[in-house]
Every structure is written in structure tokens, then in C-alpha cells.
Amino acid sequence: MLVEIDENGMISHARVRNARSPVIERGRRTGAITGIVVHQTDADTSASSLNSYKRPKANGAHFLIDTDGTIYQTAAIYQRTNHVGPLKARCLAVGAAMPCNLRDYANAGVEGMHRIEMRKPPSDRYPSNMEAIGIEMVGRAALPVGFKPISEPAKWTLERQRGEFGIFATPTAAQNLSLSWLVKALEDSMQIPSSEIFRHPVVSRKNPTEARGANWSLPVPTP
């Protein structure tokens, strides 16, 4: 399913609303787009995220999908945005399918692992900010009912506890339908392999429940 994309990387289609926020763009990409990373905003409404993207030094992704399925394009596809974070080692996750020197990672830490990964060609690691299109889905994490922190976390602020132990809301049916449409359009139009679509916690160190309920494999009507 092909969609029209202009020279800047803005989609022209009735299903996509132009809400471009140049503040979150970090310069034109220097390499090919190789993957897609699916996020959740940790916010209750699309308005709060769209407004935050207008603030100085704001970060954000290329698309935002509201709970009713509305798709906003918030950054040009050919522009890099900061949405991925430090990369995990893909070779550690896939095992024998990808060469991996375990000694390189033994004491690397988060930033060290990221530096090691970024020395590899994109085909041998997860997509970074430079190669990945980011899709945000409106959804906030909430602490489980009856949650009672113990030990050191009991001293944390409620917001920090929520960030660490919160569980993200399951995307709505409308969100997943729109996500499936958007991913299919990007896969076909940008020639992105289906194997290179990832939930945010897979590629970086994020709350493991983020985008857990995201489903981009639903059948969608065309165009």
C-alpha cells in the first residue's frame, strides 16, 4: 500500500493530519531509514503530547496516534528525532543468528553498550534515532491497584514509582487499526522489512510494558 510522501517526508493522505513540530526535529538523516519503533506517550491525551512538542528542546517521534485512531504526523520522515534512547545489544537477544563477542559487553554499562552498537552497521543492530521512524500511541502508565512499595522505592515520589512500576494502558482497537495501517503504508512506501518493526522496550531500556498491547498486524482496508 503506497502513500504519497513529499520531498521533506510528509505524508499526503486523508488518514494523516499534518501536525509537524520542527522543534523535535534534529536535522536531516544521513543514512537510509531501516526500521520503525513503536512507543506509548505516557500521557492521557494527544493534546498534552502535541503541546509538549512545541516547547524548546522537546523530544518526540514522527507520528502520534490518538485513542480514537486519529493519526498525526508530528515530524518529517527524513528528519531525525530523539525517540529511541541508548540501544540494547541485538546480538545478545538473537543469539547465534548474529555474531556477538560477549566479552565486549561484560562491563560496558548502558552507554558503553550503546557505543559498541553504534559502531556496527545498521543491519547488525537495532535501528537508532538516525535510522528509525518513531510512532507514539497515546497511553499512560498507572500503578497496579493496591501497589505498596517497599524498601528504597517507598521513599520515592509517586511519579518516580509510577515511572518504574507503572503498567501502560492497552492501546484501543482504533489505535491498533490505525497503527496497522500506518506501519503497512510505511513498510511499502519506504521499503522497510516487517522484521524491523519493534516495541520501544525491545531496542532500549524502557518500561517493559510500554507498547506491549500494540498490534500492527491487523488487516486494513486500502487505500
Residues of the chain short of pLDDT 70, as ranges, are: 96, 223
Q: What is the pTM of this model?
A: 0.93
The pLDDT, as a whole number, for residue 96 is 63
81: amino acid identity, one letter: T
Q: In 3-state terms, what secondary structure has residue 104?
A: helix
Please state, in angstroms and rounded to a whole number, the distance separating the CA atoms of residues 135 and 64.
Answer: 6
**Secondary structure element (H or E) that encloses residue 183, with its range:** helix 173-190
Could you tell me if 45 and 137 are in contact, meaning their C-beta atoms sit under 8 angstroms apart? Answer: no
Q: In 3-state terms, what secondary structure has residue 98?
A: coil
As a whole number, the mean pLDDT across the chain is 92
The grid cell for 223 is 487505500
Place of cell 560496558: 108
The predicted-structure confidence for 126-174, as pLDDT tens digits, reads as follows 999 999 999 999 999 999 888 888 888 888 888 888 888 899 999 999 9
Burial of 136 (0-12, 13-18, 19+ CB in 10 A): buried
> CB neighbours of 168 closer than 8 A, spacing ≥ 6?
40, 42, 139, 140, 141, 207, 209, 210, 211, 212, 213
**Secondary structure element (H or E) that encloses residue 81, with its range:** strand 79-81
Burial of 38 (0-12, 13-18, 19+ CB in 10 A): buried
Beta bridge partners of 136: 39, 64
